[in-house]
Amino acid sequence: MDVTDSTFEQDVLERSRSTPVIVDFWAAWCGPCRALTPVLEQEVERRDGAVALAKVDVDANPALSSSYRVQGIPAVKGFRDGRVVTEFVGVRSPAGVAAFVDELLAPRRVSTLVDELRASGELPAVVAALQAGDVEQALDLLLDEIAGSSPERREWLRESAVAVFHDLGHDDPVTITYRRRLATALY
């Protein structure tokens, strides 16, 4: 579907709350964009409704391009829960596009983390915070665990925090703040 400045909120952000949406930022004059489009369309069609494809003409919708920091095209962004969770710029092979869609459709890393923590019985307060949707509390608890931990446990705690960052998206203010705090705690 073609999306504009006026339809983006509904067609992408709201829709991504129930179905992941791939947004292809493109332009009619862009040869690589024309090469990538059929690859994206084929991969989305192969997923039989599990993911939607939206196209944004950057020339006709410069405000969207600016707000999503599109600096080169084709720029492809995967949205889930109203935010970008994965992206790439340029042309990718069919296998590369399939891997991108797989990443977008993969179970949320936090869900996997919660399952692992529950199974191991570790960090019940982190599990409770994540289940309550309080990611900042969960991240605070993870960071508190780092001090005095063995190198192996520190790495495991780092990976746990990165799982939370991944699901929030790299531009989320919580991710930005806690990524810095994690680096400080680790190094």
Burial class (CB in 10 A: 0-12, 13-18, 19+), 36: buried
Please name the CATH architecture into which domain 8-105 falls.
Answer: 3-Layer(aba) Sandwich (3.40)
The verdict on whether 33 is a catalytic residue reads yes
The tokens for 95 are 């296998």
CA distances from residue 110 to 35, 90, 95, 106, 107 in whole angstroms, order as listed: 35, 29, 26, 11, 8
CB proximity list for 24: less than 8 A, separation 6 or greater: 33, 36, 37, 40, 53, 54, 55, 56, 74, 75, 76
pLDDT digits (tens, 9 = 90+) for 73-114: 999 999 988 888 889 999 999 999 999 999 889 877 888 888
Q: Which residue has the higher pLDDT, 148 or 33?
A: 33
What residues does each domain of the chain span? 8-105, 109-186
pLDDT digits (tens, 9 = 90+) for 147-173: 889 999 999 999 999 989 888 877 789
The predicted pLDDT at position 102 comes to: 92
Active site residue: 33, 53, 73, 104, which one?
A: 33
Active site residue: 13, 30, 117, 146, which one?
A: 30
Q: How many angstroms separate the most distant Cα atoms in the chain?
A: 57
